[in-house]
Amino acid sequence: MILSLMFFDMAYWFYLITAILYIGNWIFRRDWIGSTATVMTFIALFANTMILVARTFESGHAPFSNLYESMVLFVWAMAIGYLVMEFKYKVKVVGAVVMTLAFIAMIAASKLPYRFQSIERLNPALQSIWLEIHVFTTFIGYAGFAIAFGLSIMYLVKNRMEERGAKVSLIDSFPQSSVLDELSYKCIMWGFPFLTTGIITGAYWANNAWGTYWSWDPKETWSLITWFIYAAYLHARVTRGWRGKRAAWLSIIGFLAVIFLYWGVSFVLPGLHAYA
C-alpha cells in the first residue's frame, strides 16, 4: 500500500465530512456542529499535509510535478487560507462554500486519469529549484482566488436579498454583503501578488531552461488572461459603477479563467506545460 494514497483516501473522506459539517452548521446553526467542523478541518488538513509529505518521500522530489500533486497542494493551501480567515474574521458560514469547493477539488483529483496521478521522475526541464518556487507561489494564488470565488457568489446572493429586502433565513446567516465584498477583496489581495510571483518565477525559470522568458505558450497566455481579469477587478473596486456587483462578477469570471488555466489548458491546448 502506498502511504500517500492512504492519506489521500483519508483526506478525501475528511474533507467530505468537513463540508457536510459546515453545511450542517449553516442550516441548523448549532455551535457544536460549527466547532466540530473546525476541528475536522484541522484533521483533514493534517491528512492533506501527510499526502504531500509521504509523496515527497515516495518520489524523492517536492510533490509539485503533476496535476494530481498540484491539486493536493491547491486544496491544502485553500484549507489553510480558509482556517486563517475563520480565525481572523469568525465567519463560519463561509466554510460551507469553501470546504465544499475543497471537496470538489478532491473529487476532481481522484478522478484524474492514471497518467496524471502516477509518480513520475522529473524530466530534465523540471529539475530546478524554480519548480518548487513557481508552483508553490502559483497555487497560493489559485487558492486565494478559489476562496474569493466562493465569497463573491455569496456576495451576489446576499446582495440580491438585501436589495429586494427579502428574508430567507438561510441567507440571513451570511455576513453582510459589504463584509463578503471586503473578504473576497482580501483574498484577491493575496491571490494576485502570488499569481504574479508565480508568473514571474515561471518566466525566470523559462529563461533559464528554454531561452526565453515569455513564449506565448497557452499556459503562459492564460495566466496572463487571468492576470488581466484580476487586475481589472482591483481597478473595478475603485471605479464608479463597477464596485460591488460587477467586481464580484469579475472575481467569478477570474476564477473560471483559473480553472481553465489550470485544467483546461492541460487537457485541451497543447504546449510546453503539457505535464501539468
Partner 1 sequence: MEKIEKQEVKILQTIGDKIWAFFNSLKLTLTVLLSLAVVSIIGTVVEQGKPLEFYAKTYGERISSYVLTLGFHDMYHAWWFFTLLVFLAANIIVCTIDRFPQKWKASLEKRVDVAPQFIKNLGNSASFTVNTINGGDVFSVKNRVIEILKKKRYKIKNTDVSDGAAVFAWKGTAGRFGSDIVHVSLITILTGAIIGSFFGFKDYISINENETVNAPKSNFQVRLDKFWLDYYESGEIKQYNSQLTVVENGKDVLSKKIWVNEPLKYKGVWFYQSNYGMAYDRIKEARLVLKDKKKNQIIGEPFVVKWLEPFKIPGTNLAVNLAGFVSDFGFDEKTKQIYPRSPEHNNPAIQVIVYDNEKPISGPWLFLNYPEIFATIPNTNYDLIFMGYQGLQYTGLSMTKDPGTNIVWIGSIIMALGFILAFFIFNKKVWGRIQKAENGVDIYIGGMINKNKIMFEREFSEITACLKTEVTQK
Q: Which is nearer to partner 1, 166 or 200 (CB)?
A: 200
Kindly state whether residue 85 participates in binding partner 1, applying the rule CB under 8 A: no
Q: Is residue 133 a contact residue for partner 1 (CB under 8 A)?
A: no
Output 36 or 128, the one with its CB closest to partner 1. 128
What cell numbers appear for 143 in the block?
487558492
Report CA 121 to chain centroid distance, whole Å.
26
Question: Among the candidate windows 36-44, 147-155, 160-168, 235-243, which touches partner 1 by CB under 8 A?
Answer: 235-243
Least CB distance to partner 1 at residue 142 (A) = 17
Which of 5, 10, 224, 272 is close enough to bind partner 1 by CB under 8 A? 224
Site mask, partner 1, residues 173-212, x = CB under 8 A?
------x--xx-xx--xx-xx--xx--x--xxx-xxxxxx
Segment near partner 1 (CB under 8 A); pick from 21-29, 95-103, 121-129, 146-154:
121-129
Q: Which residues bind partner 1 (CB under 8 A)?
A: 89, 121-125, 127-128, 130, 179, 182-183, 185-186, 189-190, 192-193, 196-197, 200, 203-205, 207-214, 216, 218, 221-222, 224-225, 228-229, 231-232, 235-236, 238-239, 242, 257, 265, 269
